Amino acid sequence: MNLTRTFRNAFRSVRVDPAERYLSEATSLVDLEQREREISRGRFGGPRYGR
C-alpha cells in the first residue's frame, strides 16, 4: 500500500495550476501583462486567481 500511495503522491505534484500554465505560455512581456490582466478580470473564474 505504501508504494501505491507514494506513486500516487508523485503524480499529484506534477499537476500545474491552469492560470500558472496560461502565464507560462506567454511569448513576450506584453503578452504576459495581457494574460495577467485577463486572470485578474476573472478568466479562470475564482477568487484564488486574483479576483
pLDDT along the chain (51 residues), means of 10: 75 77 94 94 69 44
Inside any domain, residue 50 = yes
Q: Show the domain range for 51.
A: 16-51
Q: How many domains does the chain have?
A: 1
Inside any domain, residue 45 = yes
Among 16, 17, 35, smallest CA distance to 25 is for 35
Q: What pLDDT does 29 receive?
A: 96
Query: How many Cα atoms within 13 Å fall on the side-chain side of residue 44?
Result: 18
Burial class (CB in 10 A: 0-12, 13-18, 19+), 30: exposed
Inside any domain, residue 35 = yes
Inside any domain, residue 2 = no
Among 19, 26, 20, smallest CA distance to 44 is for 19
